[in-house]
């Protein structure tokens, strides 16, 4: 069986990055290429079989046309070069019909790229359920019946991990919501009209490290990865 080549954007630390690598490679016959600005060409990206846009530091507010950089829990510094590089990666994936999986920051970035905006900070009450605090939080989400995510996971309510303080505000063009948490935070997005578009799902949780909170057997981790891998295999055949 030919090895699948998956591009993974670098999340910021080797330990976190390796969570993604190990998770993807557990599916077998997967080679992961780290995607870092200045270290890979557009031509090399275009030849990948799949793309994962990973988590990490907040997207710079300029990506969603907001001038406020001093909001609660804002990072000490942003990485706009990463934002622009990953926008290029996403644009190339759409040009080449390459399957894409967005995770946490990846979901937020995709929303911004297609014209959406973000809630800059969820606030103290919501952060108590969603924001990382020594370890990931856990909460239930409701998955939209009939969505692609519903078809993949096979359930309408699951427990997921959580490590974010921002969320989608205005939904980007062409997207639809596939999941929400109990307090209304958008937890999943996908294309509204899928015909003619490449595979895309994005989730606000971290399927690559759910074992950290005892959710290693969750369909919101295993089934998402396996379906993504199957979509890549179909893409390779096309």
Over the stretch 74-99, which tens digit does the pLDDT of each residue have? 999 999 999 999 999 999 999 999 99
Is 90 exceeded by the pLDDT of residue 33? Answer: yes
Is 80 exceeded by the pLDDT of residue 224? Answer: yes
Is 90 exceeded by the pLDDT of residue 203? Answer: yes
Instruction: Yes or no: say if 143 and 151 are a contact pair by the CB < 8 Å rule.
Output: no
Mean model confidence pLDDT for the chain: 97
Locate 227 and state its tokens. 């379906």
> From CA 28, how far away is CA 83, in angstroms rounded?
30
- Secondary structure (3-state) at 148: helix
Per-residue confidence (pLDDT) for residue 195, from 0 to 100? 86
pLDDT-derived band of residue 231, with 50, 70 and 90 as boundaries?
very high
Per-residue confidence (pLDDT) for residue 237, from 0 to 100? 79
β-partners of residue 6 are 32, 50
**Over the Cα atoms of the chain, what is R_g?**
16
CATH number at residue 227: 3.40.50.880
For the segment 186-196, the average pLDDT, to the nearest whole number, is 94
Is 90 exceeded by the pLDDT of residue 189? Answer: yes
Locate 234 and state its tokens. 């179909």
- Residue 84 sits at the vertex; the CA angle it makes with 78 and 88, to the nearest 5 degrees, is 155
High-pLDDT (> 70) share of the chain, %: 100
For the segment 68-75, the average pLDDT, to the nearest whole number, is 98
Per-residue confidence (pLDDT) for residue 214, from 0 to 100? 97
Residue range(s) defining the domain that contains residue 124: 4-237
> From CA 202, how far away is CA 53, in angstroms rounded?
9
Spell out a b/e string for 189-222, using b for 16 or more CB atoms within 10 Å of the CB, else e: bbbeeeeeebbbbbbbbbbbbbeebebeebebbb
Per-residue confidence (pLDDT) for residue 194, from 0 to 100? 86
Q: How far apart are the first and last CA of the chain?
A: 16
Catalytic residue ranges: 104, 206, 208
Is 70 exceeded by the pLDDT of residue 1? Answer: no
Instruction: Yes or no: say if 232 and 49 are a contact pair by the CB < 8 Å rule.
Output: yes
Is 70 exceeded by the pLDDT of residue 112? Answer: yes
Instruction: Yes or no: say if 206 and 101 are a contact pair by the CB < 8 Å rule.
Output: no
- Phi then psi for residue 101, to 5 deg, are -120, 120
Per-residue confidence (pLDDT) for residue 236, from 0 to 100? 84
Strands (E), the chain: 4-9, 30-35, 50-53, 100-103, 118-119, 137-143, 157-162, 167-168, 175-181, 186-191, 200-203
> From CA 41, how far away is CA 61, in angstroms rounded?
26
- Residue 160 sits at the vertex; the CA angle it makes with 84 and 145, to the nearest 5 degrees, is 90
pLDDT tens for each residue of 99-108: 999 999 999 9
Model pTM score: 0.97
Domain count, the chain: 1
pLDDT tens for each residue of 146-179: 999 999 999 999 999 999 999 999 999 999 999 9
């Amino acid at each position: 069986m030919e090895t699948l080549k998956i591009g993974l954007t670098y999340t910021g630390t080797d330990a976190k990055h390796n969570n993604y690598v190990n998770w993807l490679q557990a599916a077998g016959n997967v080679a992961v290429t780290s995607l870092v600005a200045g270290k890979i060409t557009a031509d090399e990206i275009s030849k990948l079989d799949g793309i994962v846009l990973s988590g990490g530091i907040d997207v710079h507010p300029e990506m969603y046309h907001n001038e406020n950089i001093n909001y609660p829990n804002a990072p000490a510094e942003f990485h706009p070069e990463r934002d622009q590089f990953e926008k290029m990666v996403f644009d190339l994936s759409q040009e080449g019909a390459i399957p894409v999986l967005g995770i946490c920051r990846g979901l937020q970035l995709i929303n911004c790229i297609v014209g959406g905006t973000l809630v800059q900070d969820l606030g103290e009450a919501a952060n108590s359920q969603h924001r990382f605090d020594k370890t990931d939080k856990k909460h239930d989400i409701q998955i939209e019946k009939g969505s692609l995510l519903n078809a993949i996971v096979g359930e309408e309510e699951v427990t997921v991990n959580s490590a974010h303080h921002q969320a989608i505000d205005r939904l980007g063009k062409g997207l639809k919501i596939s999941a929400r948490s109990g307090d209304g935070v958008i937890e999943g997005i996908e294309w509204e009209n899928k015909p003619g578009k490449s595979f895309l799902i994005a989730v606000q949780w971290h399927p690559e490290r759910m074992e950290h909170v005892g959710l290693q057997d969750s369909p919101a981790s295993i089934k998402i990865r396996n379906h993504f891998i199957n979509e890549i295999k179909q893409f390779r055949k096309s």
